[in-house]
């Protein structure tokens, strides 16, 4: 068999086509008088006689095992990196040298070559078994033993002990190659899954950007009404959606829905509900503003009509505010009640009867009317705030909402609320999507007949 040279793609008995054919590699130091390894790393030194003898003996006595004889320079590629050595046992024969520096060099090159072969096969966490596969034979037993060996024999003791040792190691490694192949396959599967997860994460981030693009832009309405929005998805996309729309010079419509579940399915459902909203009725050239009860009823019927193999539900709350008279009409579909914050009073829940969207096509949604005052704050929120403040067992979100009743304006309220949420234990790992709308009434505006209009701000906070 011709010796493979350093330019081979791997070192084995029958080249790269049979990477598992070598059981034993006999290695000898590559040393020539007055010639350094750096001057000619590919030169073929004649194998040392002891190395040749041991190679022949291994082949003769271990008939089911193949062997190859190499010098340590062949374990280094011209680039300086390790040449993969695919072998179960590496026997280093140093018949005339006990130089510790030389021996350590050969051991390190051998270990690197074995390691490179395992790495090439995709076997993870393989370095721990290399020491159990390298044996050193030196002229005398008192030579300094390099690190990284499983056994060290003198030439004399090797005659009786080396072959039994190799036989034992090979027996113990009988199932290792199959395990390595399985580990390599597992490694490829894990890498494939990792790539798939990275691709899905990129798609999720893109979906989150698209969803944010469909959130309401800044409005320019009327009569001292300001709107602020807090919006923080649980994971990229959100099952919470909201809508704000100025219907005419006086009326502002708002809507907030929370689709059951999380992630992309909930986000798609929420956006479908939000995009199908009917806030006005246009017939024969006239425009009629629909009440929140009718808006929810139409959204519910449409959702029920589109139910197929799976049933999807959502809670929602809708309202129409006459910003000049400050008269509010409100309806709810199984959603947490809106909260009215009024100076000097405890937070008041505005309760409305109505089942969740997507169950019964003829569901009725009761409507209430409330007259807002100067400095009032109206909050519409998703149930994620019950988890954010105190948890499901002891929710204290109403108390936390009330602490900020003195905050002036919707935008300032949202800023203060953001600080409160971030200060809560577990805020970095929120349990649900968080969405809140705050409508504030400017105290400087008159209730009715105001001649000047102020800018209404619709802002959203994104974590």
Position 34 scores a pLDDT of 30
Position 216 scores a pLDDT of 82
Domain 215-462's class?
Answer: alpha beta
Q: Which two tokens stand for residue 59?
A: 């082949």
Q: Which two tokens stand for residue 318?
A: 């809708």
**Counting Cβ atoms within 10 Å, is residue 189 exposed (0-12), middle (13-18) or buried (19+)?**
exposed
Query: 36-50, 144-158, 199-213, 310-324: which has the minimum mean pLDDT?
Result: 36-50
State how far the Cα of 396 lies from the Cα of 417, in Å rounded to an integer: 14
Boundaries of CATH 3.40.50 in the chain? 22-174
State how far the Cα of 165 lies from the Cα of 158, in Å rounded to an integer: 9
Query: 144-148, 235-239, 405-409: which has the minimum mean pLDDT?
Result: 405-409
Position 30 scores a pLDDT of 76
388 — phi, psi (to 5°)? -65, -35
Position 37 scores a pLDDT of 36
321 — phi, psi (to 5°)? -115, 125
Compute the average pLDDT of residues 70-87: 89
- Read off the pTM: 0.60
Compute the average pLDDT of residues 55-69: 85
Boundaries of CATH 3.60.40.10 in the chain? 215-462
Cα–Cα distances in Å, from 96 out to 42, 161, 213?
22, 20, 77
Q: What is the pLDDT of residues 211-258, one digit of tens each?
A: 787 788 777 647 889 999 999 988 788 889 999 999 998 999 999 999
Q: What is the pLDDT of residues 352-372, one digit of tens each?
A: 999 999 889 899 999 999 999
Q: What is the pLDDT of residues 312-350, one digit of tens each?
A: 889 999 999 999 999 999 999 999 999 999 988 999 999
CB 138 within 8 A of CB 94: yes
The CATH architecture to which 22-174 belongs is 3-Layer(aba) Sandwich (3.40)
Q: Which position has the token pair 């113990």? A: 172
Position 396 scores a pLDDT of 87
Position 451 scores a pLDDT of 38
Residue 393 has pLDDT above 80, yes or no: no
State how far the Cα of 418 lies from the Cα of 405, in Å rounded to an integer: 14
């Amino acid at each position: 068999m011709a010796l493979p040279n350093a330019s081979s793609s791997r070192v084995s008995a029958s080249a790269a086509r049979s990477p598992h054919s070598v059981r034993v590699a006999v290695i000898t130091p590559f040393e020539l008088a007055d010639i350094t390894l750096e001057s000619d790393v590919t030169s073929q030194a004649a194998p040392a006689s002891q190395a040749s003898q041991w190679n022949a003996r291994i082949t003769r006595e271990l008939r089911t095992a193949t062997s190859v004889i190499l010098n340590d320079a062949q374990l280094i590629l011209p680039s300086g990196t390790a040449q993969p050595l695919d072998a179960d046992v590496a026997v280093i024969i140093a018949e005339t040298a006990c130089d510790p520096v030389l021996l350590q060099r050969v051991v390190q090159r051998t270990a690197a070559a074995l390691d490179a072969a395992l790495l090439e096969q995709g076997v993870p966490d393989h370095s721990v078994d290399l020491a159990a596969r390298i044996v050193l034979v030196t002229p005398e037993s008192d030579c300094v033993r390099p690190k990284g060996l499983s056994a060290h024999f003198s030439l004399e003791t090797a005659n009786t002990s080396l072959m039994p040792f190799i036989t034992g190691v090979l027996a113990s490694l009988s199932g290792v190659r199959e395990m390595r192949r399985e580990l390599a396959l597992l490694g490829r599967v894990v890498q494939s899954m990792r790539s798939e997860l990275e691709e899905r994460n990129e798609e999720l981030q893109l979906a989150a950007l698209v969803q944010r693009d469909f959130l309401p832009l800044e409005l320019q309405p009327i009569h001292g009404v300001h709107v602020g929005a807090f919006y923080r998805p649980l994971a990229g996309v959100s099952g919470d959606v909201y809508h704000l729309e100025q219907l005419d010079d006086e009326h502002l419509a708002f809507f907030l829905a929370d689709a059951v579940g999380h992630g992309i399915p909930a986000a798609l459902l929420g956006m479908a509900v939000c995009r199908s909203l009917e806030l006005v009725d246009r017939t024969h050239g006239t425009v009629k503003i629909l009440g929140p009860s009718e808006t929810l009823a139409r959204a519910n019927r449409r959702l029920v009509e589109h139910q197929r193999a799976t049933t999807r539900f959502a809670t929602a709350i809708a309202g129409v505010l006459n910003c000049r008279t400050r008269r509010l009409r409100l309806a709810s579909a199984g959603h947490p009640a809106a909260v009215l914050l009024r100076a000097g009073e405890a937070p008041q829940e505005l309760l409305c009867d109505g089942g969740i969207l997507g169950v019964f096509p003829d569901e009725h949604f009761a409507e209430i009317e409330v007259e807002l005052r100067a400095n009032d704050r109206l909050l519409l929120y998703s149930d994620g705030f019950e988890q954010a403040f105190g948890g499901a067992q002891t929710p204290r979100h109403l108390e936390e909402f009330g602490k900020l009743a003195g905050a002036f304006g919707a935008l300032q309220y949202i800023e203060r609320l953001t600080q409160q949420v971030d200060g809560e234990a577990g805020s970095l790992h929120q349990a649900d999507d968080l969405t809140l709308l705050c409508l504030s009434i400017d105290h400087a505006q008159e209730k009715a007949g105001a001649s000047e209009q102020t800018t209404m701000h619709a802002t959203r906070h994104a974590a």
